[in-house]
Chains A and B, each alone.
Chain A
Amino acid sequence: MSVETERSSTESSAASGLDFEDTALTLRLPGSDPDRKRASTSDPDCPSPTAAAADSPPSPKAQVVGWPPVRAFRKNALAASASARTKFVKVAVDGAPYLRKVDLAAFAGYTTTSAAAYDQLLAALQDKFISHFTVRKLGNEEMKLVDAVSGTEYVPTYEDKDGDWMLVGDVPWRMFVETCQRIRLMKSSEAVNLAPRAAR
């Protein structure tokens, strides 16, 4: 099996799924690139440049001061309830003797381009189970976790409300949090039936 060029998820734009174009500084108006997909349907975690072209793209979590224009009272009220909300789900890893639990409500998304990935689910999964890892987001947008030491590839899957086993990353983050019942990191070799295209 091919272990692609070892790069940490923070450096590799291919691994994080962001095109180089999106992080390049250009004089174009943001959004005027006709090749860019609609952010809402294609990749919910892909940030786009702000109007201030000199700034780097914002991370998915709001970094712009005073934006969105919501009163502090309301933001605080919702934040208080968000911290009270939890959604713990069991996580099983093929080959590991016991399960773990993660709180999906504690994360902002699947993955991110910024250095501080601690609020992202995949980073947490890696943290708990796999000592050395790479996040590889392939052309067909499957996410894979690779144990760099053993070379084993894991595909994150989850069971939804209907009892079906799905590939993590297909639906927008919030929909995923709502419907996910449990997570299983399946060995890539066993995940053939789930992949839209035959695994290599």
Chain B
Amino acid sequence: MTYFPEEVVEHIFSFLPAQRDRNAVSLVCKVWYEVERLSRRDVFVGNCYAVRPERVVLRFPNVRALSVKGKPHFADFNLVPPDWGGYAGPWIEAAARGCVGLEELRMKRMVVSDESLELLAKSFPRFRALILVSCEGFSTDGLAAIASHCKLLRELDLQENEVDDRGPRWLSCFPDSCTSLASLNFACIKGEVNAGALERLVARSPNLRSLRLNRSVSVDTLSKILMRTPNLEDLGTGNLTEDFQTESYQRLTVALEKCKMLKSLSGFWDASPLCVPCIYPVCAQLTGLNLSYAPTLESSDLTKMISHCVKLQRLWVLDCIADKGLQVVASTCKDLQELRVFPSEFYIAGYSPVTEEGLVAISVGCPKLSSLLYFCHQMTNAALITIAKNCPNFTRFRLCILEPGKPDAMTNQPLDEGFGAIVRECEGLRRLSISGLLTDKVFMHIGRHAKQLEMLSIAFAGDSDAGMMHVMEGCKNLRKLEIRDSPFGDAALLGNVAKYETMRSLWMSSCTVTEKGCQVLASKMPMLNVEVINEVDESSEMDESHGGLPKVHKLYVYRTIAGARDDAPDFVKIL
């Protein structure tokens, strides 16, 4: 291969888009390393502290699409204190200096400032796509900068971010010359937007395929917009709560009927049952439906809608749908691949309209199901075993029983056997979240059978260190392990230290790890950052009775070539 000119080698590499493959070829020899790095277009950084931004930019100066993730997953549930880190600034600054050809930036769980957004908007003349997921730290002023300066903007996708609302001005900042928008998602913006500006923007965006509005957009504005977007494939509705005149809803139906390409529907913020019939015309063509922000829709409303959705592949819904509603899903949606059932109330000791029966019905009717997130108040081993047999194609299985440590509702036994069946039958399982009463046995099953498992979430489970050690020994492909409120201590932490270099990260909170154990880990493994996060304000449940050593409240361990980070706050100790 060394006799080939570099252009040929580069051309061959262009058939390898996957990062893993490109990483592999760059190890072959120096020539290949050089060719590969200069032709790399997509870079994915799973942990922003695993490598310095300057180093990434130096190695891949021609990158077009950069993707960076910041805080650990449990930050979604307020387990990571504010000001922990995950700042986007250094990444945007480094890119502005070293790779001005950047076109796309994706960030997840990072802190992004308005200044950074302004720098982003002004530094990359070919910039066309900004996707921010679960980020915070910026306001609509930052968005105004993006709108004003990114002349070729195709995609602005804001998913579940905490955005400081400074008024509707930002939407009007898209210049009249901006006609390239294909995807706009501002559903998480809390405040009003200027309806006229929105309508004009849509009118001059012939390529618009995906549009997700926020709560402030009225039904009439929505109808007007839809008349202009016959090619729309993905829609997030605005306000469907008010008791509109019948005419408004009729106009909406007419407008929706024009959207023959519409495949995916979301929004429905506090949607009134009156809007449900408007949606009927498009139901039969939908592959994706998100009703999880409509607690005002009762089971009967939901089933009326869903009974028309014969092509549905992805459904997100609240537990208001109830077991009988899930039976309708099971008999209607034969192509269902992803189901998420969210809780409409968060009480630990309460009552859910969905139980194990709903999930069993789904497993019977929807054998293609591969991705599940299910919140409920009770589960049984028998149900899990049945579900596993019916749906061997699970790649993601997340079950959350709302009451920590709750046993099998029929037998009062732990749910070890049920989850054991899941990992045995579903050989392709990559992500698993377990809950309910669980002993070390479940971890024995996981270690023995979950060979493809990449991410495991554990809460209030296990009896002893042996539990965690089963997982560390057996799960060869494990990348992310996150544990809370489980009795795993130093022996488990230190049982297989070399493994942490094969993983992205480990999170342990409210376990029985001590600072001594963390120090031992840090000294044995210099290529890891061992972050001990101790807050003062948290509940004082951490007693010091574990051999007199204070227990570590929160521990975050990750492999890195960047060394200890220099932006850590006071309450984070990097060992």
Main secondary structure of the interface of A (DSSP, over half): loop
A116 CB–B CB distance under 8 Å: no
A50 to B188, CA, bound (A): 35
Please state if A34 and B295 are interface contacts (CB–CB under 8 Å): no
- Given that A44-B351, A51-B485 are contacting pairs, would A39 and B403 also be in contact in the complex, using a CB cutoff of 8 Å? yes
Residues of B within 8 A of A31 (CB): 405-407, 412, 437
B172 CB–A CB distance under 8 Å: no
Residues of B within 8 A of A45 (CB): 349
A sample of 28 cross-chain residue pairs with beta-carbon separation below 8 angstroms, ordered by A number, consists of A32-B412, A32-B437, A38-B409, A44-B350, A45-B349, A46-B349, A47-B348, A48-B406, A50-B405, A51-B405, A51-B460, A61-B347, A62-B346, A67-B459, A69-B76, A69-B77, A69-B400, A69-B433, A70-B77, A71-B160, A73-B160, A74-B160, A75-B346, A77-B293, A78-B293, A81-B293, A85-B296, A109-B350
B345 CB–A CB distance under 8 Å: yes
Residues of A within 8 A of B349 (CB): 39, 44-48, 58, 60
Residue from the list B79, B351, B352 in contact with A66, Cβ < 8 A = B79
Using CB atoms, name the residue of chain A closest to B407. A31
Please state if A67 and B296 are interface contacts (CB–CB under 8 Å): no
Within 8 A of B (CB), among A55-104: 55, 58, 60-75, 77-78, 81-82, 84-85
A67 to B460, CA, bound (A): 11
A46 to B347, CA, bound (A): 12
Within 8 A of A (CB), among B46-78: 74, 76-78
Contacts A68-B348, A77-B269 given; 4 further ones with Cβ under 8 A? A68-B400, A69-B459, A71-B77, A72-B162
Nearest chain B CB to A63's CB is how many angstroms away?
A: 8
Nearest chain A CB to B363's CB is how many angstroms away?
A: 21
Within 8 A of B (CB), among A145-200: 172-174
Using CB atoms, name the residue of chain B closest to A73. B160
Using CB atoms, name the residue of chain A closest to B438. A51
Using CB atoms, name the residue of chain A closest to B487. A51
Please state if A70 and B460 are interface contacts (CB–CB under 8 Å): no
B377 CB–A CB distance under 8 Å: yes
Query: CB-CB contacts of B315-346 with A at 8 A, as 1s and 0s?
Result: 00000000000000000000000000011111
Within 8 A of A (CB), among B348-389: 348-353, 355, 375, 377-378
Using CB atoms, name the residue of chain B closest to A72. B78
Residues of A within 8 A of B459 (CB): 67, 69
B26 CB–A CB distance under 8 Å: no
Using CB atoms, name the residue of chain A closest to B159. A73
Residues of A within 8 A of B541 (CB): 52, 54-55
A64 to B405, CA, bound (A): 13
Residues of B within 8 A of A51 (CB): 404-405, 437, 460-461, 485
Residues of A within 8 A of B538 (CB): 65
Nearest chain A CB to B30's CB is how many angstroms away?
A: 45
Query: CB-CB contacts of B525-540 with A at 8 A, as 1s and 0s?
Result: 0000000000000110
Nearest chain A CB to B84's CB is how many angstroms away?
A: 14
Residues of B within 8 A of A30 (CB): 405-407, 437
B402 CB–A CB distance under 8 Å: yes
B270 CB–A CB distance under 8 Å: yes
Please state if B484 and A66 are interface contacts (CB–CB under 8 Å): yes
Residues of B within 8 A of A75 (CB): 346
Nearest chain A CB to B549's CB is how many angstroms away?
A: 18
Please state if A60 and B409 are interface contacts (CB–CB under 8 Å): no
Residues of B within 8 A of A174 (CB): 345, 351, 353
A1 to B352, CA, bound (A): 39
Residues of A within 8 A of B378 (CB): 38, 40
Residue from the list A29, A68, A77 in contact with B346, Cβ < 8 A = A68
Within 8 A of A (CB), among B138-166: 160-162
B292 CB–A CB distance under 8 Å: yes
B134 CB–A CB distance under 8 Å: yes
Using CB atoms, name the residue of chain B closest to A66. B77
A38 to B377, CA, bound (A): 11
Nearest chain A CB to B443's CB is how many angstroms away?
A: 15
Q: Which of B188, B406, B433 has the most CB of A within 10 A?
A: B406
Please state if A78 and B405 are interface contacts (CB–CB under 8 Å): no
Nearest chain A CB to B332's CB is how many angstroms away?
A: 25
Nearest chain B CB to A116's CB is how many angstroms away?
A: 15
A108 CB–B CB distance under 8 Å: yes
Residues of A within 8 A of B403 (CB): 39, 48
Query: CB-CB contacts of A1-44 with B at 8 A, as 1s and 0s?
Result: 00000000000000000000000000001111110101110001
A60 to B345, CA, bound (A): 11
Residues of A within 8 A of B160 (CB): 71, 73-74
Residue from the list A60, A66, A82 in contact with B347, Cβ < 8 A = A60
Please state if B270 and A81 are interface contacts (CB–CB under 8 Å): yes
A30 to B162, CA, bound (A): 38
Residues of A within 8 A of B348 (CB): 47, 58, 60-64, 67-68
A40 to B351, CA, bound (A): 6
Nearest chain A CB to B258's CB is how many angstroms away?
A: 29
A47 to B350, CA, bound (A): 8
Query: CB-CB contacts of B401-419 with A at 8 A, as 1s and 0s?
Result: 0111111010010100000
Residues of A within 8 A of B460 (CB): 50-52
Residues of B within 8 A of A74 (CB): 160, 292-293, 342
A32 to B340, CA, bound (A): 30
Residues of A within 8 A of B539 (CB): 65
Nearest chain B CB to A77's CB is how many angstroms away?
A: 6
Please state if B134 and A71 are interface contacts (CB–CB under 8 Å): yes
Please state if A172 and B351 are interface contacts (CB–CB under 8 Å): yes
Nearest chain B CB to A61's CB is how many angstroms away?
A: 6
A39 to B406, CA, bound (A): 10
A82 to B485, CA, bound (A): 29
Residues of A within 8 A of B74 (CB): 66
Within 8 A of A (CB), among B516-564: 538-539, 541
